[in-house]
Amino acid sequence: MKLPRSRRITRRADFQRVRTSGSTYQGRFLVLGYLSDDSLSEPFRLGLITTKRLGGAVVRNRVRRRLRAIVQRTAHRIRRPYWVVLIARGAAAEATSEQLEKEWKWLMHRTSLTDPDCRPE
RNA sequence: AGGCCGGUCCGUGACGAUCGCUGGUCGCCAUGCCGCUCCGGCGGUGAUGCGCGGUCAGAGGAAAGUCCGAACUCCACAAGGCAGCGUGCCUCGUGAAAGCGAGGGAGGCGGAGGGCGCAAGCCACCGCCGACGGACAGUGUCGCAGAAAACAAACCGCCACCCGCGUCAGCGGGACCGGCAAGGGUGAAAAGGCGAGGUAAAAGCUCACCGCCCCGAGGGUAACCGAGGGGGCACGAAAAACCCCGCGCGGUGCAAGACAGAACAGGGCAAAAUCCGGGCCGCCUGCCCGGGUCCGCUUCGGCGGAAUAAGCCCGGGUAUUGGUCGCACCCUGCUCACAACAGGGAGUCCCGGCUUCGGUCGGGGCUAGAAAAAUGAUCGUCCAACCCGCUUCGGCGGGGGGAACAGAAUUCGGCUUACGGGACCGGCCUUCGC
């Protein structure tokens, strides 16, 4: 699934709305914030947050690129229009792509972003 | 051969597959606009795009720190000064400037223990170091140790003094008043050194030599050197504490700056009492201009003025922390077209040649442009570091897994700092062979 800029969250106000009105779920490497919105024309919109706590620009770029690629591969499972914000925690800087993908699938399952019968492997 | 140090250069290895991101460009599609129309559409335009497809480009030597210098931007601007900041031996080269390079001067540290000398010290040699104007313009500072650390200073001492003993030399005790900076000890540093005279003991108190200070023939483009003469010596360190002196500097930084669109709601205090038209701004809730109105003057064309407020307070709205530009080389050929590719030009950097030092010629490299911030993710193969085994010491086989510092943010030139590995050059050390 493609992830052009238009499918990402870029406006400050959108981030704030997900934070104040949406729900969050914490994992080891990631924090998932999500907000259902049936008025969305897209299946979902994604925002990635990589704070300076992760490390320098190189580390943050790497984490962000990995997460984007993971979401690209798996996002077709999202069943309803959602605003999705992924915040990378400090441990994510050291995590492998495999670990991140596993956690992302687990988070999608726990928060019912995906269909209930689509279980993480 | 190995190790260490210094310098220069290269710098997330190469190839492929699948899936993606940002931008340019081309084609198609959709929307918009314009024209025609037999009202079905057709043609043009190429403005718009979460659209589809092709094609091309897409992180570094430091992109970093944001420390200098410039381009560019807006603001300010008679001239000078103050404050502030920067800078600091001399000459030459290079450069727009910062800076960089070469040579020289003075100074400091170390080595060897060479020459002269009784010694102090001086001379010569080799290697290294650097923010290198001024410490008699002024204010302040100098830990610990030590008696005393900058208008020097009596702890142990020395001498003199008083008492006793002794023929004398001297010895013991007292006193803590006087003289002394020679010796000891402390310290990074104890207020010139050394020898002699001198003295109660001493002291540049006096003298020679050395050092230091002043003047200085002469030499050198200059920093500076310095024959010779004079002075009994005054002047500790640090200017990277402040400071003083010379020289330089207007401020602002791409969130600069320019433009467009969109949106809303006013109220209060105070004050005053009219509308219309047009334009402008980025912040708006306004402003400006013109007309009409009123007043005065008039040479009857006009001219001048006044008011419709200014101001303050409380709110509200808009601009996506961001739209477009700034801002991301140009032209020609090939091609349906865009590219790749080829040729030419521009800018810039590097290398080399020539030079009348102004330049010029040849070759090579580079020309990314995001905005919650693209330049990637996954997999495979091969090849390095490293590990294991074998070895005829040349290598061979197996394992192994991309590793340091680090991510463009207007651009360019420097500086500084960080860094795994490789290549080359130079120096030193060790071992082996000849």
Give the whole-angstrom CA distance, residue A81 versus residue A36. 6
Global ipTM: 0.85
Residue nearest to nucleotide B19 (CA to C1'): A73
In three-state secondary structure terms, A31 is strand
Model pLDDT for residues A46-74, shown as the tens digit of each residue: 888 887 777 777 788 888 888 888 888 88
Give the whole-angstrom CA distance, residue A30 versus residue A87. 6
Q: In this predicted structure, which of A4-8, A72-76, A88-92, A101-105 has the lowest mean pLDDT?
A: A4-8
Model pLDDT for residues A86-99, shown as the tens digit of each residue: 888 878 877 777 88
Give the whole-angstrom CA distance, residue A43 versus residue A4. 13
CB atoms within 10 A of CB A98: 9
Q: Which nucleotides of B are covered by protein (CB under 7 A)?
A: 19-23, 50-52, 59, 63, 320-322, 371-378, 406-408
- Closest-lying nucleotide for A41 based on CA to C1': B50
What pTM does this model have? Answer: 0.69
Better pLDDT: A28 or A94: A28
- Domains in chain A, please, with CATH? 5-110 (3.30.230.10)
